[in-house]
Structure 1
């Protein structure tokens, strides 16, 4: 099944699927769990959000997942599983191809300095969309239907209950 909806930012359109829509992703989004708790990173200007980011030249997508997780949370991953992909169109042009991953964090180290995040929060239960929409401390990037739909997909996943 494929979902289509407006993005969190103006002039965005999103296509989301559990299937791979385009072979090479240039970004990642990570639903990471440490001891059964969802890991959120505090972006210095956007607020609380899921770890993720842009693939660097020469990196595999899995290397991007591991690097972004470490840079944004200090987390080292034990397991990584792709659970979906979404395309972000801006003004009708494809801007981002994001693979969505669920992961199990083996170790949370001290947050490394010099990156764009300045805090980590472990959440006992996955926040619902209404909580996120009504809380200005959450990033606007979490306020689209990607988070809403994928959080439903992962509720029963074993990583969310370790």
Structure 2
């Protein structure tokens, strides 16, 4: 089943699915859990959000997940599972192809310096989207239906248990 809805930013539309629609992925989004707690990172300008980002030239998608988790949260991953993909269209043009992963974090180290995040938060429960919608501390990127739908997909996943 595919979901279609407006993106968090103006002139964006999103297609979300559990399938892999496009093999050439340029971004990753990570629902990471450390001891059953959801890991959020504080982006320097956007606020609290899930770890993730752009895939580097010559990097595999799995390498991007591992690197982004370390750079943004100081996390080392024990396991990674792809759970979906979403396509972001801007002005009707495909701009981003993001694979969505759920991961189990084995170790959280000190946050590396020189990257785009400046804090890590561990949450006992996955926040409901309505808790974040009017809270400016959360990134606009957390306020579209991707987070809402994927939170339902993962609510009983073994990684969410402590």
TM-score, length basis structure 1: 0.99
Structure 1 residue aligned with 2:89: 89
The question of 1:57 aligning with 2:57 is answered: yes
Structure 2 residue aligned with 1:112: 112
Structure 2 residue aligned with 1:30: 30
Deviation at 1:24, TM superposition (A): 1.4
Deviation at 1:134, TM superposition (A): 2.1
Deviation at 1:111, TM superposition (A): 0.1
1:97-151 alpha-carbon deviations (Å, 9 max, x no partner): 0000000000000000000000000000000010010211000000000000000
Structure 1 residue aligned with 2:7: 7
Q: Where does the alignment leave 5 or more consecutive residues of structure 1 unmatched?
A: none
TM-score, length basis structure 2: 0.99
Equivalents in 2 of 1:150, 1:124: separation in Å?
A: 17
RMSD: 0.4
Instruction: Say how many residue pairs are matched.
Output: 162
- Secondary structure of residue in 2 paired with 1:69: helix
* Correspondence list, 1:35-54, <5 A: 35-54=35-54
After the TM superposition, which segments of 4 or more aligned residues of structure 1 sit over 6 Å from their partners?
Answer: none
1:58-84 alpha-carbon deviations (Å, 9 max, x no partner): 100000000000000000000000000
Structure 2 residue aligned with 1:78: 78
* Correspondence list, 1:118-137, <5 A: 118-137=118-137
